[in-house]
Every structure is written in structure tokens, then in C-alpha cells.
Amino acid sequence: MRLTFCIFFLLSVILIACQSGPQPPQANKIPKKLEAHGDVRIDDYYWLRERENPEVINYLEAENAYTEAMLADTRGLQETLVDEFKTRIKQDDTSVPYRLDGYFYYNRSVKGEDYKVYCRKKGSLEGAEEILLDANELAGDSTFFSLRFKVSPEHDLIAYGMDKVGRRFYTVYVKDLKTGKTLPDTLPNVTGNMAWANDNLTLFYSKQDPKTLRSFQVYRHVLGTDPSQDDLVYEEADDTFGVYVSKTKSEKYLFITSAQTLSTEVRYLDAGKPDGDFVVFLPRREKLEYSIDHLKDKFYIRTNLDAPNFRLMETRVGDSDPSLWQEKIPHREDIFLVDFEVFADHLVIEERKDGLIQLQILPWSEGEEFYIEFDESAYRAGLSYNPELATNLVRYTYESMTTPVSTYDYDMETQEQTLLKQTEVLGGFDRDNYVTERLWATAEDNTKVPISIVYAKGLEKDGSSPLLLYGYGSYGATMEARFSATRISLLDRGFAYAIAHIRGGQELGRQWYEDGKLLKKKNTFTDFISCGEFLVVQGYTSPDRLFAMGGSAGGLLMGAVVNMAPDLFKGVIAHVPWVDVITTMMDPDVPLTTSEFDEWGDPHRLEYYDYMLSYSPYDQVEAKDYPSLLVTTGLQDSQVQFWEPAKWVAKLRAMKTDRNLLLLKTNMHAGHGGASGRYGRYAETAFDYAFLLDLAGIKQ
């Protein structure tokens, strides 16, 4: 017996000695029985939900240490990448000013500082600069900082909210811009969403449930009064809806909007009568969405009423019955109405056709409508901030995967446009050195799925190039073909970058969204896989050179596709991934759950439970080989709770059969969006890129 033990001990020592490098943490298994519809699931890592548990914190910190150790050889590359970003991105920069009531508002970045300085000039751009808020001073030594603000109607006060944790709880203060002093009025633990009434004294703001984080109350605060005595103006009783306050472009009306995934209800109030009662414009009904703006004596309504791709209606203020509405822009089967902008003499329509934005100009009186022309095959265009009514200039932005963000003023009378600014990209960038294309993959059901791709000229389509494929595919969110100055560091090292415009987004109209949600959600995942396979067949890359990335609901996408097609990818980055679908959607106390049944379904109903279970990444983890994975989360994440990615990694680590990298990186001082400062974001991007480049065998 003693000899057997000695041999076993010796073999163990030899085995440990042979295991070079850091060893991954192993989370404790504490089985918890979860039962629904007669189905029993055993969750070994349910205990990781305990944010205040020291053992949970220790586990996350151990994973962080392991991740840093496993990518230690890339530290030099990470530093090189950060230096490239700083060299390429202008560190001292100023936004394009916008004019409002005789003031020119803008912000500027200062070299060495993380956050923006918000400023204005009175009368002209030649005037003296007035600093409204210096976010760097306000942030102090906080490891996280987020700022929201609203200037009052008379431009002499600014209400601003600060979040220094990342959980999206703001404290709102009011600053007197004439004296520079902060008023005693303080509104703690609010959403940061607010709107001024026209008396320059009353501030409406929304407040969230401290547990579920649902914005469900709107309060009215009068400056100089005790905030604890603020009037509760509205409380949303339906826990599937959230609320927010806003103001029309005309500044004539205040809105309280109750919204869920597929339904809205708007209440309005004359902004000059803040003590009045809000009136419902059109009562909520299932699957009816609408949004409103105001001009002269009319409301303009973008709605899906009898119009899946939305249409634009107009009605006199007070005539909210749909039978009294007049159609301004009809429903079109092949065009999705995205947004609209009212001006004194013109109406501007933002619409999407074949996945690309078009801007249409319509005079209110005489004249023909026309479009602003764009000439690249894949691009992103959209209305910018246009606060003035009495102007012939509409401001819009344009960019593509090879064209930096460009801001234009377009004269709607002369049809002449002026380039106000194109984001300057330093370091010898030349857009002619890169190619962007719009491709079309064929999905499992023969649906054509668009892909936007960019790469450096000279790329050989022989399968030898590494390629990063990005996707989202949820909530009807459209993934645009945007420019990225940091992405150049990948392109210059031989990577191609592609966006899969999969179902679940709204790139090809409302039906594109409908076909990627609820009981059709798997189309999102199979579309992404089809896009990856198409890029391989076309020679843009190969499975041992193909990488994927997505975040939040796009992290769900990543979790699903690595379960369904693990051999297609060399490596995957899943940012703040929502992967524990069933457990979260069964729990009404988890933030966002109740408001998202229209997106994912309600698993308390067996049909949805079974369908969700069939793709839920956490539940579908199997004992098989997976690609290398980098998973990120934030301890204070208010959207996807940190424990979802933590549990997923723990389960993968216990079950997967390969030796590929599995890394979990938790930002212990941030929420859903990661680092708040620009230099922190540079470091996070460099970390991601180093992970990809290292797997691709690119060391410099």
C-alpha cells in the first residue's frame, strides 16, 4: 500500500511539473435545483449571483489574474497598439458646434484627459469660450464616470447627472451658469433622464426601481424646494413598460413616453404650464408603436399603425383619434421609415432601403421632394442634432468603413452641401489603401443576408487572411457600416473585418426584425453561421483564421454559435454576453426581464421555455471542443448581470474537452459599456486585438 501511494504521489508531482504555465481557476460546484414545466435543471454555479459574497469576488479576481497571465506575452503588443491608437486619433479635438438661441454649443477633448469639456460661445464662434462642465474635474479620481445634462430654456442653468459606479444610478445637480455656483437642489439615485419646463424653474425627471432598475416613475422638481417633497407625476404600473421624459423640438410640449419592445403610449403637457396634468395622446395597445414631434399647430406621428415598415401621419394638436390623422408619408413594402425631422419650411425623412440609409427632403409648400445622394456600396448616414426650426440647413453625418465620420450642412433650398468636419485620422492614413464591399450570403432557408466588409488592398482571397466577423441581431438594432480608427491596426496587420447584418436587426425592414425574434430567434444564429461559411467559401478566410465578436445580446449570439458550429471559428470574443437565458427570463427581479418578453418570449409558457432552452448558451454547453474564448463583463453591469458570463465560463471550463484559451476578464469598476474614459477604452480595445492577433500568429 505504501509503495502504491509513493508511486501515485510521484506521478502526481511529475504531472504537476509538466503542466507549464498558470492553471485556470476552478469555481466551486454548489448544485441548485431549478424546476419549471416538470423540467429540472441543475445549476452548479448559481451561487455566483452573490455580488457581495467575498468568495465570488475572489473567484472573479482569480480569473482576472489568470487572464492577465495567459496573455502576458502580448503586453508589449498591447502597448504598441495603444500607442498606435493615440498616434492615429487626434488627442486635442473639438466637435462641430451647433447653434441654439444665439449660443454655439460644442465639446472638446484635451490631450491626456479621459473625458470631454463642454463649452459654448455667445453670439458667434469668435466670442469668448464659456466652460459649462469639465467632465475631467467632475470625475476626479473616480474609476468610472458617466455624465448627462440639460441646459435650461433661458440658457442660464444646467442640470447635470453623474454616475461614478456604472450601475446607471445618477445624482443630479443644478449649476447657475451666471455665477458658476451649484444650487442646493440635489436629486439622488435617478436615471439621469430629465427635461426642463419653459418656466426655467421646473425640472421633470425619471426614477428607477432600485432592484429591477426599471425606469417607472416621473417626478416634478421646482428649484428651491425640498427634493424629498417632489411631486410624483406619473408611475408606470405595468412592469413590462419603462418610462422617460422628453421635449418636442419646438419646445412647446413635454412628453412622458411609456415603452416596451412592441408598444408605446405618450402623454403630453404644454411645457409652459408645468403644474398641469399630462394627457394621453393615444392609449396603448398591443403591437402599436408611435413617436411624436410638434410643429405649429400639428403633431407629426411616426407609427406602425397598419404599417409594418412605419408611416408618417399628421394631426392637429388635440385630434389624437387616428381617424382624424392625415397621411404624410405612406407605408412602403421595400422601405423602412427610420426617423423624421421637422423644420419651419421642410420635412426631412430618414429611411432605409436595401439596408442603407437614404435622406429625403420634402418642402412643406412648393417644390419637389428629392434625395441626398451617397455613392459608396456600404456606408452609414443619418440625421445629426438639428435643434433649430427656422433654418434651411439640415445637418447630417456620413461615414463608411473607409471614410471617417463626416459632418455636413445641407442647404435644402439650393441643394448645396458643406463639409463642416471630417474626423482627422493621423499617422499617414489614406482611405484609398482600403477596400469596402457589400456582399450577400445565403442562409439556411435561402434568405439573402447582407455583409459589409473592409480590408487592406492586396488581400488575396485564398483563405489565408484572418477575418473578424461581428454580429448583433436583436431588438431591431441595425449594425451600421461605421468607420473605426482603431480598427486600422487590425487591417494593417492583414485582418479583414466584416459585419453580418443578420435577422433580428432591422437592416432590411421590420420583417427582418420579426424573423429574428421570439420563436424565430434561431434565424439570427444560423444567419451568422451562414455568413461565416460564405466568407470561407469565397476565400476571404478559413476556419482556422476566422474570428467572431459580439456583445450583450450579440454575446448571446456568440454563445449560441460556438455551441452550434464550434469548428467554424478559431477564436471568439464575447463582450458582456447574455447567456443564461432561461434562468434570467424566469426571474422578474433581474433587471430588464419583464420588459423583454416581447423580444424573447415568456418562459413561464411551455412553448417559449422549450424554445429558449434549445438555444440558451449556458444550458447548451456540452463536453466537446470549443474555439478559444475571451469573455468580458463588468461587476456593476446593469444590463447583463456579471454572473451570467462568470457562470458560463465556469461551466465551459468544467466541461470542454479542448486546451484552447478560455479567459474571463471582469472590470471590477465598470458596468455594461466597459471603461468610461477614452484611454481606458483604448486599453480594452488593445487587449481584444492582442487576443486575436496572438491566435492568428501575429506577434507585432
37 given a catalytic annotation: no
672 given a catalytic annotation: yes
Show the DSSP H helices in 402-521 as ranges: 488-491, 510-514
- 617, 559 in Cβ contact below 8 A? yes
Tallying the residues shown for the chain, one arrives at 700
Tell me how far apart the alpha carbons of residues 238 and 285 are, in angstroms, rounded to a whole number.
13
Of 627, 632, 661, 456, give the one whose Cα is nearest residue 554.
Answer: 632
Tell me how far apart the alpha carbons of residues 632 and 563 are, in angstroms, rounded to a whole number.
18
Give me the long-range contacts of 5-11 (CB less than 8 A, separation at least 24). none
SS3 label, residue 218: strand
Q: Say which residue the cell 443619418 belongs to.
A: 382
- Which pairing describes strands 379-383 and 662-667: parallel, antiparallel, or unpaired? unpaired
Query: One of 339, 400, 672, 688 is an active-site residue; which one?
Result: 672
- 21, 69 in Cβ contact below 8 A? yes
Tell me how far apart the alpha carbons of residues 149 and 187 are, in angstroms, rounded to a whole number.
13
Report the amino acid identity of residue 325.
Answer: W
Q: What is the DSSP letter of 205?
A: E
Tell me how far apart the alpha carbons of residues 511 and 192 are, in angstroms, rounded to a whole number.
33
Return the exposure string of 459-489: e unless at least 16 CB atoms fall within 10 Å of the residue's CB, then b: beeebebbbbbbbbbbbbbbbbbebbbbbbb
C-alpha cell at 59: 473567484
Of 253, 360, 304, give the one whose Cα is nearest residue 506.
Answer: 304
637 given a catalytic annotation: yes
- 313, 328 in Cβ contact below 8 A? yes
Query: One of 637, 638, 688, 694 is an active-site residue; which one?
Result: 637
Query: One of 552, 595, 628, 638 is an active-site residue; which one?
Result: 552
C-alpha cell at 603: 418562459
- Alpha-carbon distances of 265 from 195, 242, 281, 505, rounded to whole Å: 18, 10, 7, 23
DSSP 529-583: HHHHHHHHHTTS--TTTEEEEEETHHHHHHHHHHHH-GGG-SEEEEES----HHH
Which residues belong to the active site? Answer: 552, 637, 672
